[in-house]
Structure 1
Amino acid sequence: MYYFFILVIGVERLIELVVSRRNARWSIAQGGKEFGRGHYPVMVAMHTLLLVACIVEVAAMHRPFLPWLGWPMVAVVALSTALRWWCVATLGKHWNPRLIVIPNAPLVSSGPYRWIHHPNYTAVTAEVAALPLVHSAWVTAIVFSIANALVLNVRIRAENRALGYAPVSAA
């Protein structure tokens, strides 16, 4: 059942990529400029490897499903997925995992963005930790939570600069 769950998450990610490509074309047509191209492939690779590592650790290390841990983690994954899609719906055509900014487009301050600047990254952080723990793959949870923190450190800095939250350095 866990492998099917991971497959469903993988299919959901593919749907995100379809939406992303459509939105990227629209954003570029509106004069959008892409930032942070270097870290985007790292993000994609990390999320792909997360799904693979979930399967490998559970299969190779014979990790058990522990109901007291697994069911709450399923709930965290479901809630984080709902939050991510709320972000997608709130941003509409402006949503994209690539960092494309349309000049003079107003910052969104509705939906989950009324409370936090980066609700999508909050959801992703919860999901990266919870998804492996659904089936007690604790090594994957630790390793990929650290990797995600490193990637998000780069990503959020680039996004904040691109959106004008932080000054752009001369470098």
Structure 2
Amino acid sequence: MVWPSIALLTFVTLQRLAELLHARRNTAALLAQGAREIAPEHYPYMVAMHAAWLVGLWLLAADRPVSLIWFLVFMVLQSLRVWVLATLKGRWTTRIIVLPSAALVTRGPYRFLSHPNYAVVIGEIAVLPLAFGLPLFALIFSLLNAAILTIRIRAENAALKQVVA
């Protein structure tokens, strides 16, 4: 039965596209308020990695069955994603955008983690391929994601430290 795989991949694709539009609007609004982008040089690599992950899933997983257990884990991650988006509202972007006049967000999932969105993405990059029985794919993209997030989190933490100081 192929339709569950196609439905899940379609959901993730549409979700990512909608998030890019949401992030673009938020980025423009933040920049208009005097925010600035930090460390944009890594951003194209992050986009390329995420696009390759999604295209790879379409190529390798569209005709594979979906594991119910991994699907449920993925759905828990989606609820956490919604929590992050709802907490950050207009401050959520896919870029590192710092608004000097704004206080750091310390409510919602930010009470528990400094970077809950990245925790969700780490989970998604691994869990969705595992839902399709693709452990090597999950490992490869988890390693690529770890490399990008290492650069990104260092840059973001340094930028946020300047804002708080």
TM above 0.5? yes
| From 17, 20, 39, the counterpart of 2:20 | 17
| From 98, 101, 111, the counterpart of 2:108 | 111
In structure 2, the partner of 1:84 is 81
Counting helix residues as a fraction of each chain, which structure ranks higher? 2
Answering whether residue 55 of structure 2 is matched by residue 52 of structure 1, we say yes
Between the aligned residues of both structures, percent identity stands at: 41
| From 127, 139, 142, the counterpart of 1:142 | 139
> Would you say how many aligned residue pairs link Structure 1 and Structure 2?
160
Answering whether residue 102 of structure 2 is matched by residue 99 of structure 1, we say no
Tell me which moved more, 81-90 or 151-160: 81-90
Answering whether residue 34 of structure 2 is matched by residue 31 of structure 1, we say yes
Answering whether residue 155 of structure 2 is matched by residue 155 of structure 1, we say no
Q: Match for 1:26: what amino acid?
A: A
4+ residue runs of structure 1 moved beyond 3 angstroms?
Answer: none
> In the aligned structure 2, how far is the partner of 1:49 from the partner of 1:140?
11
Q: Match for 1:30: what amino acid?
A: Q
Shift of 1:9: 0.1
TM-score norm. by structure 1 comes to 0.87
Shift of 1:55: 2.6
> In the aligned structure 1, how far is the partner of 2:73 from the partner of 2:154?
26
State whether residues 57 and 140 of structure 1, in contact with CA within 8 Å, keep that contact through their aligned partners in structure 2.
no
Unaligned runs of 5+ in 1: 166-171
* Secondary structure of 2:37 counterpart: strand
What is the correspondence of 1:54-73 to structure 2 with a 5 Å cutoff? 54-58=57-61, 64-65=64-65, 70-73=67-70
Shift of 1:156: 0.4
Shift of 1:44: 1.2
Q: Match for 1:103: what amino acid?
A: P
Shift of 1:91: 0.8
> In the aligned structure 2, how far is the partner of 1:74 from the partner of 1:97?
24
Answering whether residue 121 of structure 2 is matched by residue 130 of structure 1, we say no
> In the aligned structure 1, how far is the partner of 2:29 from the partner of 2:131?
37
Shift of 1:147: 0.6
